Structure formats: structure tokens, C-alpha cells
Structure 1
Amino acid sequence: MDGNGRWAKKRFLPRIAGHKQGVEAVRRVARAARTLGIEVLTLYAFSSENWRRPEDEVRDLMGLLRHFLASELDELVSEGVRLRVIGDWRGLSPDLVAMIDAAVARTATNPGPTLVIALNYGAQAEILAAARRLAEQARDGTLDPAAIDEARFEAELETKDLPPLDLLIRTSGEQRLSNFLLWQAAYAELLFVDTLWPDFDEKALADALGRFGQRERRFGGL
């Protein structure tokens, strides 16, 4: 979800205004995803690199996350949505960790689609952590290194119980993955759109799915 700052700048507004509109876009797109039958929607809300931003902006982003959890949880429950969080989110402030724990627990048995929020997430850190755990198991003699294949490695990732990634969309015209789901994106379709995230809506998501449907996925075959 990229382009909040540029959206605000174009309107001579502070960056926080763009982030607020970005939260509204999250609401729209999460609802649209359910309408369009998307099984899992993963949103890159805060990367491990975002800590480099000014302190007041980070504080504002965390405040918006608190507001989103407080205001949207009842709807997620009523719509049967299961909330998941990936990343080193336990490194956030204790009150926010408690809110996330409560929200995840309250939606854990919901039967509907899954909304995954990536918080304090970095794909390289995720891959390194998985490799480290496998190395420790091999060192301790509980895992034969020869048994480590793609499936065994994926079992150590935070997305281990989610379906394969089909489509990765990046907004605002940027054409890079920025440390997001690097392993999972190996055979995903990539779509880079010029729309700034605060302007992304149900039509934009439907258009993205339409473009995805026109692609031929061969997974390395003919």
C-alpha cells in the first residue's frame, strides 16, 4: 500500500492526512475483497524499515492502527473474517500488542476469508529466521539436512498455513517488492499500478483481478 504521502502532498496536506485516507482505503478494499470472493488478503501495513521514518509519523501510524483495530473488529467478527498478523509485531508497544492479541483471538474461529496484516514485517528477516530454526534442528540432530526441501522450508515461514500467493499488487507506480513476501512471490503474478493507495477502491481491485485472470500461469512449464 504505497502513495499515502504523495496523495497528501498533491493536496497540500500533511502526511498524516494521506495515512488517514489510506486507512479508509483499507476498509474499502477489505470489504471489496470479501465481495469479490478473495480467500486471503494480505496488506503490508508497516515494514521493518519504516522505523526509519520521523518519530512523529511512526507515532501517527501506530495511532491509526489502534483506531483501525478498535473500530473494525466488530465488523470483522460479524462478517466472519479471520484476522492474522505476520512480522515481528510483538516488538510494538505493549498496549498495541495486547490489542492485536485480543483481535486475533476473537476472530480465530471465524469461518470466512482471512485478512492478514503485515506489521514490523521484513521478508529477509522472515527467511533468515526460518533458515536459523532449520539449522538449529539440524545441529541438534532432530532434522536431517537432506530432508530440507521447499515444503519443509515453507513450513517454517509465517505464512505456512496460508494458500500460495497468487497476485501481488503494488500501488503508486513503484516497481519493486520492498522486502515483502519474497519467498512467497516466487511464482506470484506481479502487478504495478499508478493509482495512489488512498485512491484504490473496489473498481481498482476488480480491474486488478481482471488483469490477473488474463495471464497465463505456467510455473516454469510450457
Structure 2
Amino acid sequence: MKPKPAAAPEGANPLANAGGSIVPRHVAIIMDGNGRWAAQRGLPRVAGHRAGAEAVRKTLRAAAECGVDTLTLYAFSSENWRRPEGEISDLKGLLGYYLERELNLLAKEGVRLKLIGDYAAFGPDLVERLEKAIERLAENSRLTLVVALNYGSRTEIADAARTLARKAKAGTLDPDSIDEGALGAELQTAGLPELDLLIRTSGEVRLSNFLLWQAAYAEMLFTPVLWPDFDETQFKAAVAEFAARQRRFGGR
């Protein structure tokens, strides 16, 4: 007989779907490999990003079908500004195009949109479109799609610590009361379910400054599949592997 897994921390318990199998409540994905996918085919990098956008659609559909509550996608890191200007321009244009093309579908499928990161850096036109999309989808509840744009986890944690320090200095917060919960409440992911499963595509095995705090007890899955080739089958296989794992949370 298999030993029972240790109890998960509060808020980290996975959902059980109608069939009784365990589903991660919150899944995050580092979508890596667009450039390599394009290079293997002799195509410009933007072609890889376009194919990656199609993978987003497939993954969203699979997440909703599986009963996932929250899907967080690492779309643009704070380090991505080091890429060539032309590629950054292509990525921004693709984001705007994706918003226009997919917004009606997201609304129909009951998807709510949330952004993390300093997305104001993308300029007023794109910011306005993003915020209008958030507003339009605000009442949906089937799946929360969190898109990380100009996001860096170290900056997020430093910002949260700075906020707590200001409150303590102003006398509105007792420094001795600061604990994990207090810091977590100042992170951009506050209010979202605890992260259960973090996936990275393309064979790279690192977090790349993504959800460092949130991933403390998340299950990790690193797949060699390049992001444009990641589809419903790949996502459901990841969920099945998650269900087969025994989560210990520091227990035996």
C-alpha cells in the first residue's frame, strides 16, 4: 500500500475533477524554444513566435478542459529587452495581433485575464488594449490566464519588500509581524492559487527569474519539446505526470 502524501500547505491543495483524478490548480509555463523551432526550419525568428502563439491557444484549451483554475505564461521577461530591436518589435506586434484575434474566443470560453510585470513599458497604445481586454474579460471565471509581461521575479520580491519597509517606517506595520504571508500578499500574484506545477519547454533546466517565490513547493517538469510543438496532448501528459507524483511539502 502506498503511503499517503503529506498534507499540502493551505491554498495549495490541487483540485479533483469529475473523474476523480488530481488536477493542478495553478500551472505556470516558461514558453521556450520559439527561436530554435524557427531555426530548425530555416525560418525567421518571428515565425517561431507566431507558431508559439498557436501553442498558447492549444494550451489554453487543454487547461480549461482539464479543469485548471489558473494558467500563468511567461510571455516576456525583463531580460528580453536585450534581444534585437526588430525581434522585440515583432513580439509587441504579435501580442497586439493575438489580443485582437483571440479576444472574442477568450470571452466565449470564459477566460479571465490578469497581467503581472511592468507592462507599461510596452507603450500607451498596447497598454490601453491590454487594459481594455482585462476589463472585458473581468467577469469570467472558467479559467484565469495570467500573462507575465516585462516580468522578473527578483524585482517583484524586492518591490514587495520595499512596500513592507515603507509601511513599517510609516508606523502602519509592526516589523515583527512580517512573515511569509505578509510578503506574499504584496506580490503581484496575491490572490491567485498557490503554484502547483511549473513547466519549461525546450530542454532548458532553469527558472530564469520566473516565479521564484511562488515555485517554492511547485512540482517541476522540464520537457525537450520546443514551445511551438507543445499542444493539448503535451499539456495533458504533464497533468497526468503531476497526478502520479507524491507531493510531500517537506514531509516524509
TM-score (norm 2): 0.87
**Residue matched to 1:72:** 102
CA deviation vs aligned residue, 1:113-155 (integer Å, no higher than 9, x gap): 1011000000000000000000000011100011111111100
Task: Using CA pairs under 8 Å that are at least 6 residues apart, name the structure with larger relative contact order, 1 or 2.
Answer: 2
The 2-side partners of 1:46 and 1:141 are apart by 37
Instruction: Tell whether 2:38 aligns with 1:8.
Output: yes
> 2:185 aligns to what?
155
Displacement of 1:111: 2.1
Partner of 2:49: 19
Find the counterpart in structure 2 of residue 174 from structure 1: 204
Aligned to 2:171: 141
| 1:190 counterpart = 2:220 | yes
Aligned to 2:128: 98
Deviation at 1:71, TM superposition (A): 0.7
Post-superposition CA distance 1:49-72 (Å, at most 9, x none):
000000000000000000111111
Distance of 2:212 and 2:47 partners within structure 1: 30
Asked if 1:44 is matched to 2:66, the reply is no
Taking the aligned partners of 2:228 and 2:158, their CA distance within structure 1 comes to 33
Q: How much has 1:76 moved relative to structure 2?
A: 1.0
Residue of structure 1 equivalent to 2:240? 210
CA drift of 1:176 comes to 0.2
Question: Number of residues paired by the alignment?
Answer: 222
The 5 A counterparts of 1:106-125 are: 106-125=136-155
One-letter amino acid of the counterpart of residue 207, structure 1: A
Q: What is the distance in 1 between the residues matched to 2:219 and 2:108?
A: 32
1:49-60 pair list within 5 angstroms: 49-60=79-90
**Structure 2 runs not aligned, ≥5 long:** 1-30
Following the alignment from structure 2 to structure 1, what is the Cα–Cα distance between the partners of residues 42 and 107? Answer: 37
Rounded to whole Å, the distance in 1 between the matches of 2:148 and 2:207 is 14
2:111 is the alignment partner of 1:81: yes
| Secondary structure in structure 2 of the residue aligned to 1:49 | helix
The whole-number CA distance in structure 2 between the counterparts of 1:172 and 1:218 is 27
Matched to 2:245, the amino acid is R
DSSP 3-state at the match of 2:76: strand
Identity across aligned pairs (percent)?
Answer: 61
Q: Which portions of structure 1, spanning 4 or more consecutive aligned residues, are displaced by more than 2 angstroms?
A: none
Gaps in structure 1 of 5+ consecutive residues: none
Shift of 1:31: 1.1
The structure whose residues are more often helix, as a share, is: 1
